[in-house]
């Protein structure tokens, strides 16, 4: 359950879009070799915060908050064709890496018999985690249905 909580917390952490001018980017890179987003990232974790938010007649007390910073140039959603091509590449690489396993046969027999597998499903389908991560990365940014919608 902790793994699910940490995944949800990481996935739905508020996003801050950082829009800079080329002059600021050049100054940051020449001064310390970091982008302005890299400079801001350590400031994205705020602890011991004393703030309250009122949502639909309910008061929520914020004690800790985390923000994710992204440069405006990295916040875009690829076309559907580009997403399909990238996901096909991910599956091809995963198939090459895990081709010797017999997970597919075990999973098929479990589905046919209706019995639970003896090993966790993630071991039978090791490619699924990589596929899910890449799918979420590709679909993170959109114009109106984004999961990662900038809040500031």
- Give tens-digit pLDDT for 32-81: 899 999 999 999 888 888 888 887 888 888 888 888 898 888 888 888 89
Q: Is the pTM of this model over 0.85?
A: no
| Closest to 133 in 3D by CA, of 2, 7, 5 | 7
In this structure, the answer to whether residues 59 and 82 fall within a common structural domain is no
Q: Which domain holds residue 4?
A: 1-75
In this structure, the answer to whether residues 99 and 127 fall within a common structural domain is yes
In this structure, the answer to whether residues 133 and 120 fall within a common structural domain is yes
Q: Cα dihedral angle (128, 130, 135, 137), rounded to 10 degrees?
A: 150
pLDDT tens for each residue of 5-24: 887 877 778 888 899 999 99
């Amino acid at each position: 359950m902790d793994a699910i909580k940490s995944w949800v917390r990481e996935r739905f952490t508020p996003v801050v879009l950082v829009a800079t001018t080329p002059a600021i980017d050049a100054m940051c890179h020449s001064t310390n070799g970091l982008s302005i987003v890299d400079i801001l990232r350590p400031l994205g974790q705020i602890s011991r915060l004393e703030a309250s938010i009122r949502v639909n007649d309910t008061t929520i007390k914020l004690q800790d908050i985390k923000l994710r910073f992204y440069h405006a140039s990295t916040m875009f959603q690829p076309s559907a064709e580009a997403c399909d091509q990238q996901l096909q590449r991910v599956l091809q690489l995963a198939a090459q890496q895990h081709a010797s396993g017999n997970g597919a046969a075990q999973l098929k027999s479990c589905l046919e018999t209706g019995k639970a597998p003896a090993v966790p499903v993630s071991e039978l389908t090791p490619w699924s985690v990589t596929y899910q991560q890449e799918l979420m990365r590709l679909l993170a940014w959109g114009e109106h249905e984004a999961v990662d919608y900038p809040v500031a």
